Structure 1
Amino acid sequence: MSVVATSVFLLFALIVLGFILGKRNIIHKESIPDLSALVLQVTMPVTVFCSIIDQERSQLVSYGVQTFLFIILLHLCALLVGLILIHAVKVQDLDQGVWIYSMLFSNNGFMGIPLALSVFGGKGMFLMALGNVVGNFLIFSVGVKLLTWKYPMKEKLNIRKMIWNNINIAVLLGLVVCILQIPVPDVLGQLLAYLSNITSGLSMLVVGLSISRLPVKAVFQDWKMLFLTLTRLLIFPLLMIGFLRLLPTNLDETLKNVLILTAALPVSSAQSMITEQYGTNTAAAGRSVFMTTLFSVITVPLIMMIAFA
């Protein structure tokens, strides 16, 4: 489990670096929306595309349906927990979208794929990438709607704009290239690899920059956010472990572990960038990403130890 702890720690270190750069005004706060746009519109779509085209077509077909079904089931369970949570804790109206988003979406792209590769090998990475397809589609449709929920928007959101975005276009293109076995020229492949490699580090820096505008004490003094963090990192993944063990079907063991890892991961860092883009609840979004990423250094290895037991 040292591989898990090390990977989580490195990503959190990048958030801290972004926080320092923002606090010392080395990167000005006016630049944060532009950096968010760079990740969301360019580098993240490239990362998604590359993660799909690297897979084998035969595996895509054999594991695709089962993975998609269980990832959707996981999201439905998370949605139910999120709805119960916002009413039980009496979350303020403008924070409710962030809370539900935080329960729904894990950092399975930037953190989950490399962790799955390290812990479960190539098959684990592939299954996490398949689950990431569903996650990306939902983040940039349902997720955007949640993070703009109850906010007066200058531009009215509609289903077509939420679904037809660069991330989901990258998903479709990746599936086409993988299924049809379309060769990617070496030069283009190298260019895409360079852009893809930027995404993870830059997205964590953006999270840190967003948090740098908050008083540090405020992040830890919000008891409701601490409760959200506890639910997200411990209670929900433990519920998923119990649920998967009670299933009557013989679920593939690697897929089962990937689902548990997905449930145990911290909140998707895309949350901070989406709220930056739309000018909504950046404070609550930054807190949830910061807190869950911080404590996941301890909880992710713990949950996976329980899962393996």
Structure 2
Amino acid sequence: MSFGEIFIILVPIFFVILLGFIAGNRGIFNKETSKGINTLVTKIALPAHLFVGITTTSRETIFDKASFLGSLLIGVIGFFVVVLLITKWTSKYDFVQSTMFSLNSTQPTFAFMGIPVMGSIFGAEAIAIPIALMGIIVNAVLDPLATILGTVGERNRNTDANSDEKQESLLKVTGKSILHGLSEPLACVPIVGLILVLVFNFHLPELGEKSLDQIGDVVSGVALFAVGVTIGINRIKLSFSAFSIAILKAIVQPLAMVLIALALGLKHDDFVMAVLLVSFPGSAVASMIAIRFRSLETEVASAFVISAILSIITLPFLITAIM
């Protein structure tokens, strides 16, 4: 695929993001009203779209994605752990700050950009399983893990609490974090779909497919618009930390995934999709987790915007190189 063909695919995508940016920057949407768009995409439209994709896929095709799943686990969870350890050892950040730095350097906005970008290249049906697997890893593993580690860091700050109280509190947080992650539609809906197909060999009837498609088909444009709105309502504060997070997210992680995918011998299409899934800009969800822990709020919000702008340059070159 030539650079010109990639450019033609990406221009409409970034045009919709630009429209969202203008709407957010001019105050047509603010932080409160933008939550409605994000909720529509992440809790209703995208889960519906993924459920259709999974339950209209054969059991054999899903089994064939085992190596692909392994590459995502290493490229997401492994990358997060490595960045966390390096950040903790080489910077002045405490454990909570290091965790939030690493989370925002790792988690991509796959839910919003995966379908329009990858769908334009491979087709909507081919990308449902890869995006669903990424949703499970991020929502059921990465975000709960970061929440648990952030809580550990907060507990360690409190030297007045005795060890028994720490243990009890941490166990509760661990359980709640895992349950919360599994309760997110982007995690539980794909899991339910996978169980239905793998265990019961379920295939969604045509009527169910058409019904869910009525809401699932809005994902592409609305998700891109939501990305633009989120960028438009945030203000950039340039700092070394913000640039570091953005570069790790947009450049280092995709390159690391290239090596991982090559080492695991993924098929060409799986190789390309694995790399693309981690190459998208940082996630607003990861930023919100940092805000929840009152840690690096300005840095991660700025990094989200910087990585989105940086992806305008990196995505065309990356797609051209790996296609």
Q: Distance in 1 between matches of 2:316 and 2:282?
A: 16
The reply to whether residue 182 of structure 1 matches residue 203 of structure 2 is yes
Q: TM-score, normalised by structure 2?
A: 0.73
Q: Distance in 1 between matches of 2:235 and 2:289?
A: 18
The reply to whether residue 205 of structure 1 matches residue 222 of structure 2 is no
Q: Displacement of 1:240 after TM fit?
A: 3.3
Q: 2:48 aligns with which of 46, 49, 70?
A: 46
Q: Displacement of 1:101 after TM fit?
A: 2.4
Q: 2:189 aligns with which of 170, 177, 186?
A: 170
Partner of 1:231: 248
Partner of 2:24: 22
Secondary structure of 1:234's aligned partner: helix
Q: Which residue identity lines up with residue 190 of structure 1 in the other structure?
A: K
Q: Which residue identity lines up with residue 215 of structure 1 in the other structure?
A: R
Change over 3 Å in CA distance of 1:11–1:60 after alignment to 2 = same
Q: Which residue identity lines up with residue 161 of structure 1 in the other structure?
A: H
* 1:1-309 correspondence runs (5 A): 1-61=3-63, 63-84=64-85, 86-87=87-88, 88=90, 90-91=92-93, 96-119=98-121, 121=122, 126=126, 128-145=127-144, 146=146, 149=150, 157-179=176-198, 180-186=201-207, 188-216=208-236, 218=237, 221-245=238-262, 247=263, 250-268=265-283, 270-271=285-286, 284-307=299-322
How large is the Cα RMSD of the aligned pairs? 3.6
Q: Displacement of 1:294 after TM fit?
A: 1.8
Q: Distance in 1 between matches of 2:212 and 2:57?
A: 16
Secondary structure of 2:218's aligned partner: helix
Secondary structure of 1:138's aligned partner: helix
Q: Distance in 1 between matches of 2:118 and 2:233?
A: 33
Change over 3 Å in CA distance of 1:85–1:306 after alignment to 2 = farther
Q: Distance in 1 between matches of 2:4 and 2:293?
A: 38
Q: Displacement of 1:192 after TM fit?
A: 1.7
Q: Distance in 2 between matches of 1:37 and 1:199?
A: 11
Secondary structure of 1:183's aligned partner: coil
Change over 3 Å in CA distance of 1:256–1:19 after alignment to 2 = closer
Q: Displacement of 1:171 after TM fit?
A: 0.7
- CA-to-partner distance for each residue in 1:191-213, whole Å, 9 max, x for gaps? 32231232333334334334444
Consecutive unaligned residues of structure 2, counting only runs of 5 or more, are 155-171
Farther-moved stretch of structure 1 (71-80 vs 261-270): 261-270
- CA-to-partner distance for each residue in 1:94-131, whole Å, 9 max, x for gaps? 65444322333333344334444444x46x963x5333
Q: Distance in 1 between matches of 2:292 and 2:221?
A: 22
- CA-to-partner distance for each residue in 1:176-201, whole Å, 9 max, x for gaps? 45442433243x43332231232333
Q: Distance in 1 between matches of 2:108 and 2:5?
A: 19
Matched residue pairs, number? 295
Q: Which residue identity lines up with residue 100 of structure 1 in the other structure?
A: S
Q: Which residue identity lines up with residue 22 of structure 1 in the other structure?
A: G
Change over 3 Å in CA distance of 1:59–1:232 after alignment to 2 = same
Q: TM-score, normalised by structure 1?
A: 0.76
CA contact (8 A) 2:140 2:187 kept: no
Change over 3 Å in CA distance of 1:285–1:204 after alignment to 2 = farther
- CA-to-partner distance for each residue in 1:7-41, whole Å, 9 max, x for gaps? 44444433433332233332344323343333332
Partner of 2:159: none
Structure ID, larger Rg: 2
Q: Displacement of 1:67 after TM fit?
A: 1.8
Change over 3 Å in CA distance of 1:48–1:243 after alignment to 2 = closer
Secondary structure of 2:108's aligned partner: coil
Consecutive unaligned residues of structure 1, counting only runs of 5 or more, are none
Q: Distance in 2 between matches of 1:40 and 1:260?
A: 22
CA contact (8 A) 1:238 1:303 kept: no
